[in-house]
Amino acid sequence: MKFSEQWLRSLCNPPISTTELCDTLTMGGFEVESAVPAESSEILELPDRSPAGTRPREEPGDTLIDVKATPNRPDCLSLLGIAREVSAMTGAELKIPAVALTSVAIANTRAVRVEATAACPRFAARVIDGINAKSATPVWMQQRLRRSGIRSISAVVDITNYVMLECGQPLHAYDDRLLAGGIVVRFPRPEEKLALLNGEIIALAPDYLLVADEEKALGLAGIMGGKESSIAAGTTSVYLEGAFWSPAVIQGRTRRLGFATDASYRFERGVDFQGCAPAVERATQFMLDICGGAAGPLTDAVSTPDLPHRNPVRVRTARVGKVLGVRIERDVIADIFARLNFSCTCDGDDFMVTPPSFRFDLSIEEDFIEEIARIFGYDAIPAASAAHVTYMPPSPETARSLDVVKQRLVALDWQEIVTFSFVASGTEEALDADAHPVRVLNPIASQTDVMRSSLLPGLLATLQKNLNRQQTRIRVFELGRTFSRDGKGYRQPLRLGGLAYGSASPEQWGERLRDVDFFDVKRDLEVLIAPKRLVTPRGQHPALHPGRAAEIHLNDAIVGWLGELHPRLVRYFDLPRAPVLFELDAASLTTVALPVGRLVSDLPVVRRDLAIVVAEEVSAGAVLAALHDARAPRVETLQLFDVYRGPGVKEGHKSLAILVLMQDTSRTLTDAESDVTMAALVRIAADQFGGSLRD
């Protein structure tokens, strides 16, 4: 916000130079610039006593000051707000312009009906009749407006802009002759349109709040007035309005409209809800003094339950010292609250502080502690070295960090990626029509309107981008959160997802090229999860091929899925062929079995091959898991090395060739002992899966 230094000093005149004033505002947390306006055509007259080389900002003359307030300080978007800050920081007297109640000279008024009280809890207005709209705006007012970046238009409009800059309360004036009946604050009717002051005719969305009369819409509440009721040179009667619009009904609307106004900039951040009527009174004084006329009674429609609540907050003196690292006396804290216009009462060493109506950024104890530090002075807080006690936290042998998991995948020839958590709703629906993703209330772009329910969108988008750049072998993984609803709340589990596409290994002379398949990715997952054993029974997933998808089981719990992309989605994403994908719960990867020492035998190993015939629907993984769980004595290794279907095996069955290695640490095994062990393995396969030895 730009303003004239002389204007600021008319409200609060600290006994410091311009440089010190700017430095004070900077210390108060504002970004400040001070310079003569480059676009000014006026001659700057310096005092005769000015020595050569003196910078204009150091002169006591009028200087343009540009203060950039943070979004949480809408109260500082006015001269009065800046003056409050300067007064609190320097101790200078705050001179709030006197606003006397206007004498009611006419009975003209309009009934006000607020249909949306939550959106407009306060609406103040009055009729001023008999004005001369052609009256010239005083030169001093024009200069102050111009130096604040607002051009002079007409006396009536200039007055509303001046009061907005001075008090922070945007006002709007309507030509009272063009209004029909009472004033209504409402949302649009179906297919209603409005011609704005800037000449645009817009179709009104259902969530645009309107100021209207009994027949038509008059303007977009808090954003811009309508053209049909605007002030003209022949206007003799105005309806002056100052309201409090809830920030929620203003935020986001200007982005959709494609333009912003000074009023919307303030309303979407929050204005003083107690300042509506005083601002109308202040503008009325200027209107009567400059344009003449007579004022009607002030209408102040208030819905108290819908006004923002200003609840007292307990501020503990001990807590202030603990947070800031320096003890601040109770009397000093009380003085700071008084200088900031905070209403407070004492409760022992604590304060019960009620934030004023113009401060929307104060709600918890830490907010008030920050105010204490700001006014007390950050430079006055000593930078004391704190004693730090360091210790080595315990590191369980069964714990494994996710960094180690990622390093293992990188060692297996995978590359890590990081993608957006925001994805397109169309992609989510294509991957899983029943996902019901969490929608983003204010998306940064139309293609990022929902939160991802899996890591698939980012992995597939990365694949598409690489294929478009002639990269034919892709192996990528991502560790990130997914989002889903959980009753009235949300779940954000950490997941590990991966995608493999192209050849199984890099092109080289000693190996024939082949496409990566399900078992290549499963092998990498087995290495990743080792020494635990994973099981991959056939499963179903809406994004995977119906016959080439599996669940991933770990310790009898489903921790993820693995498989080829569904043919429908291969066409949807315009891919030459299907990639292999997986996704796991990251929590299942952070624990490993406690290492157990074993004797290493130097005796011969006995090898037997076991050929078991089972039904086609029985998975080899289930058979191996059952044999492992049986813990047959002296069995060191069980490994599948062949699957046979054909002559000698009944139709609908398959033969599983399993390598069995047996060894003892104390003696060489006899054939009889080996036969007993093999018979036990065959019996397990027969009992659990109906298997039999192949002839």
Indicate the helix (H) or strand (E) that contains 582: strand 580-585
- Cβ pair 520, 459 in contact under 8 A: no
pLDDT given at position 47: 47
Percent of the chain with pLDDT over 90: 61
Dihedral sign of CA atoms 276, 281, 287, 293 in order: positive
For residue 45, pLDDT beyond 50: no
The string of pLDDT tens digits covering residues 349-372 is 899 999 999 998 999 999 999 999
Q: How far apart are CA 436 and CA 438, in angstroms?
A: 7
Class of 2-90 in CATH: alpha beta
Mean pLDDT of 122-138: 94
pLDDT for position 435: 81
In this prediction the pTM is: 0.63
CA angle 104, 107, 113 (to 5 degrees): 105
pLDDT of 48 strictly over 90: no
The whole-number average pLDDT for the span 378-404 is 84
Residue-wise pLDDT for 107-125, tens only, equals: 999 999 999 999 999 999 9
* Angstrom distance (rounded) from CA 682 to CA 168: 87
Q: Encode pLDDT of 395-443 as tens digits.
A: 888 888 899 999 999 999 999 999 999 999 999 999 998 888 999 888 8
pLDDT value of position 37 = 46
- The helix (H) or strand (E) run that includes residue 185 is strand 183-186
**Please, is 577 exposed, middle or buried when counting C-beta atoms within 10 Å of its C-beta (0-12, 13-18, 19+)?**
exposed
Residue partners of 136: CB distance under 8 A and separation at least 6:
155
Give the pLDDT of residue 57: 41
Residue type, 375: I
Binning pLDDT at 50, 70 and 90, where does residue 225 land?
very high
Q: pLDDT by residue (tens digit) across 68-110?
A: 988 889 999 999 999 999 999 998 999 988 888 889 999 999 9
Q: Give the domain 606-693 fold.
A: Alpha-Beta Plaits (3.30.70)
CA distance 430 to 351: 57
**pLDDT at residue 39 is higher than 70:** no
pLDDT digits (tens, 9 = 90+) for 613-660: 999 888 888 888 889 888 888 888 899 999 999 898 888 899 999 999
> Is 606-693 the same fold as 112-306?
no
* Contact between 130 and 293 (Cβ < 8 Å): yes
pLDDT tens across 180-214, in order?
999 999 999 999 999 999 889 999 999 999 999 99
Instruction: Tell me which residue of 133, 138, 169, 176 sits closest to 154, measured CA to CA.
Output: 133
Residue 474 tokens read as 């892709």
Is the pLDDT at 292 greater than 70? The verdict is yes
The CATH number of 402-589, from 3.90.1150.10, 3.20.20.150, 3.30.930.10, 3.40.640.10, is 3.30.930.10
Instruction: Tell which residue, 544, 419, 527, 415, has the closest CA to residue 473.
Output: 415
| Whole-number Cα distances in Å, 470 to 175, 466, 474, 565 | 66, 7, 11, 21
Determine the residue type at 127.
V
Residue range 32-51: mean pLDDT, rounded: 53
Q: Token pair of 32, please?
A: 């400040």
488 has a pLDDT exceeding 50: yes
Which is nearest to 494 in space by CA: 559, 437, 415, 440? 559
pLDDT value at 666 more than 90: no
> Average pLDDT of 514-531?
91
Question: 310-313 long-range CB contacts below 8 Å, 24 or more apart?
Answer: 310/354, 310/355, 310/356, 310/357, 311/354, 311/363, 312/352, 312/353, 312/354, 313/352, 313/353, 313/354, 313/355, 313/362, 313/363, 313/364, 313/365, 313/367, 313/368
Contact 175, 203 (CB under 8 A): no
Tokens 């991502």 sit at which residue? 478
49 has a pLDDT exceeding 80? no
- Mean pLDDT, all residues of the chain: 89
- What pLDDT is attached to residue 50? 52
Structural domain boundaries of the chain?
A: 2-90, 112-306, 313-377, 402-589, 606-693
Longest dimension (CA), the chain: 121
Give the architecture (CATH level 2) of 313-377: 2-Layer Sandwich (3.30)
**What element of type H or E holds 8?**
helix 5-11
Q: Domain 112-306 has what CATH class?
A: alpha beta
The pLDDT confidence band at residue 60, using thresholds 50, 70 and 90, is very low
